[in-house]
Structures are given as structure tokens and as C-alpha cells.
């Protein structure tokens, strides 16, 4: 698989239908929990979460149903699967923006997990970009600042921005995060 193939098929958009909220959230999360060892299902499940989290009511339902733990479990179980890591990070981008939802202990584990995945796959532009965006979004919560600085998140983000110098969004993320955490 090439680095550019990670995002193939992203042209799908989130469907804003009640069935997704009524049945889709529990179906996706239950399937991911039940088939944790299946990297293809985890990849596709995280992909579904990317789209579901775009709709505010779905995001709320996902967070209430424990989506952060489900994504964390997928990332932990499939550390050697860049596609799973990519989709998991992509899903987290929209999920970590809700202030106060992630408790301090959970935030610490999540930040460390994102740092590991981003560092491990930093040569993959899509993974590096999504991981840095999650860290950027987590830096919007002042409660995460001490930990983000302690584990050197700004250095990882700046390294990714240097490695992928053509990515203007990543440059913005690096500059903004470094300034916010200075």
C-alpha cells in the first residue's frame, strides 16, 4: 500500500438520517467491540465513525456510547495497521472537540496513543496530518496543556510539518499549537 492510498474513498459524506442515530451508532460500536481482532472491520468501523461524528446529534450519541474507548481499543490492538491508525485518528479529530467530555485520565491515555501512532507513521502524510490535527484539537482544551507540553507534542507536530512541508494545513497546525502551548 502506498501512502496516498490511505485516504482512497473519502468522497463519501455523512448521511443525516434518524436510522443512523437510532441503530447505526450502536451497530457500529457493538460490531467493533465484538470483532476487535479484525483489522478490516476496525478500519471500516472507524471510517463509519468519521462520517457519523460530522453530525452533532450523532457525535453526542457516539460519545455517550463510549466511542473514545472503542477507538482506543482498535488503535491498541492494531498498532501495525496504518489504515486502522489513520481512520481512528481521522475519527478522533471531530470527537475530541467537545470540551469536558474526555476525563483527565482518559485524555492522558488518548494523547499518548495519538503521539505513538503519529510518531510511528509520521512518514505517511495522511496519518501524520490526522494525528497532528487531533493533538491540535486537544490543545484547544487548557486542561490538556501540561500533558501536551510534557510529552513534547509540539515537537512531534513540528517534525511532521517539516517532513511534509507541502502540507499548508499541517504548517498552520504546527504554528498554532506551538504558540498556544508556549
**133-144 pLDDT per residue, tens:** 999 999 999 989
Collect all residues with Cβ–Cβ distance below 8 Å to 101 and sequence separation of at least 6: 63, 68
What mean pLDDT do residues 66-73 have?
95
Tell me which residue of 118, 134, 122, 120 sits closest to 50, measured CA to CA: 134
H or E element: which one contains 163? helix 153-163
Place of cell 485516504: 7
Grid-cell match 470527537, residue found:
95
pLDDT tens digits for range 9-25: 544 444 555 655 667 89
pTM as predicted: 0.86
CA distance 28 to 136: 27
The confidence score (pLDDT) of residue 12 equals: 46
Q: What would the mean pLDDT of 51-77 be, rounded to a whole number?
A: 92
- Separation between Cα atoms, residue 88 and residue 49, nearest integer Å: 8
Q: Given a cut of 70, is residue 108 above it in pLDDT? A: yes
Domain boundaries, the chain: 11-95, 102-182
At 141-162, the pLDDT tens digits run 998 999 999 999 999 999 999 9
User: What average pLDDT does the chain have?
Assistant: 88
Amino acid at each position: 500500500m502506498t501512502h496516498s492510498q490511505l485516504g482512497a474513498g473519502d468522497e463519501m459524506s455523512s448521511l443525516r438520517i434518524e436510522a443512523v442515530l437510532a441503530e447505526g451508532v450502536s451497530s457500529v460500536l457493538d460490531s467493533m467491540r465484538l470483532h476487535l481482532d479484525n483489522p478490516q472491520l476496525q478500519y471500516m468501523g472507524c471510517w463509519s465513525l468519521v462520517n457519523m461524528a460530522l453530525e452533532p446529534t450523532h457525535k453526542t450519541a457516539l460519545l455517550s456510547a463510549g466511542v473514545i474507548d472503542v477507538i482506543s481499543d482498535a488503535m491498541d490492538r492494531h498498532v501495525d495497521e496504518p489504515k486502522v491508525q489513520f481512520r481512528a485518528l481521522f475519527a478522533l479529530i471531530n470527537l475530541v472537540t467537545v470540551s469536558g467530555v474526555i476525563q483527565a485520565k482518559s485524555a492522558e491515555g488518548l494523547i499518548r496513543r495519538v503521539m505513538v501512532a503519529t510518531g510511528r507513521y509520521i512518514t505517511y502524510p495522511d496519518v501524520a496530518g490526522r494525528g497532528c490535527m487531533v493533538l491540535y484539537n486537544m490543545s484547544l482544551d487548557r486542561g490538556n496543556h501540561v500533558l501536551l507540553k510534557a510529552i513534547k507534542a509540539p515537537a512531534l507536530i513540528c517534525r511532521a510539518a517539516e517532513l511534509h512541508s507541502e502540507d499548508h494545513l499541517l504548517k498552520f497546525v504546527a504554528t498554532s499549537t506551538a504558540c498556544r502551548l508556549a
